[in-house]
A = this chain, B = another copy of it.
Amino acid sequence: NIFMGSFKGHALPGSFFLVAGIWWTGKYSLWHATRRNKSIGSTRLAGRSLQRRLEIIENSGVCPPLCPTGMLAEQFLADGPKLQLYNFAEKHWEDLMNWQHATMYLFFGLAATVSLVLHSTEVAPLALDRLMLAVAFFNEGFLFLYHLHGRSMLDVHVHQLLLYAVFAQAIVAFLEVFHRGNIILELLRCTLTILQGSWFWEIGFVLYPPSGPEWDLTDHSNMMFVTMCYSWHLAFAMLVVGVFVVRSRLKRTPPMEMGLLKTMERDAESEDDVL
Q: Which residues of A are in contact with B by a Cβ distance under 8 Å? A: 32, 35, 44, 48, 51, 92-93, 96, 99-100, 103, 106-107, 110, 114, 117, 121-128, 131, 135, 139, 142-143, 146-147, 149-150, 177-184, 187-188, 220-225, 227-228, 230-232, 234-235, 238, 242, 245-246, 249-250, 253, 258, 261-262, 265, 268-275
A-B contact list, 8 entries, CB within 8 Å: A35-B273, A96-B224, A124-B249, A131-B184, A139-B234, A142-B227, A149-B224, A150-B220
Partner of A275, one of B139, B181, B223: B181
Do A224 and B273 have beta carbons less than 8 Å apart? Answer: no
Do B142 and A275 have beta carbons less than 8 Å apart? Answer: no
Closest B residue, CB atoms, query A232? B103
Smallest beta-carbon distance A209→chain B, Å: 14
Closest B residue, CB atoms, query A272? B181
Most buried by B among A92, A128, A231: A231
Do A125 and B231 have beta carbons less than 8 Å apart? Answer: no
Do B225 and A270 have beta carbons less than 8 Å apart? Answer: no
Do A271 and B238 have beta carbons less than 8 Å apart? Answer: no
Do A224 and B122 have beta carbons less than 8 Å apart? Answer: no
Nearest 9 interchain pairs by C-beta: A181-B272, A146-B227, A123-B249, A103-B231, A96-B224, A93-B221, A180-B270, A181-B275, A127-B184
Smallest beta-carbon distance A275→chain B, Å: 5
Partner of A228, one of B51, B100, B258: B100
Do A103 and B262 have beta carbons less than 8 Å apart? Answer: no
Partner of A123, one of B124, B180, B246: B246
Do B179 and A96 have beta carbons less than 8 Å apart? Answer: no
The CA-CA distance from A128 to B188 in the complex, in Å, is: 10
Smallest beta-carbon distance A160→chain B, Å: 10
The CA-CA distance from A131 to B28 in the complex, in Å, is: 17
A250 neighbours in B (Cβ, 8 Å): 121, 123
Assuming the A-B contacts A99-B228, A139-B231, are A220 and B177 also in contact, with contact meaning beta carbons closer than 8 angstroms in the complex? no
Do B227 and A182 have beta carbons less than 8 Å apart? Answer: no
Smallest beta-carbon distance A94→chain B, Å: 10
Do B238 and A272 have beta carbons less than 8 Å apart? Answer: no
Assuming the A-B contacts A122-B258, A139-B234, A184-B177, are A224 and B271 also in contact, with contact meaning beta carbons closer than 8 angstroms in the complex? no
The CA-CA distance from A253 to B124 in the complex, in Å, is: 11
Partner of A124, one of B93, B231, B234, B245: B245
Smallest beta-carbon distance A100→chain B, Å: 5
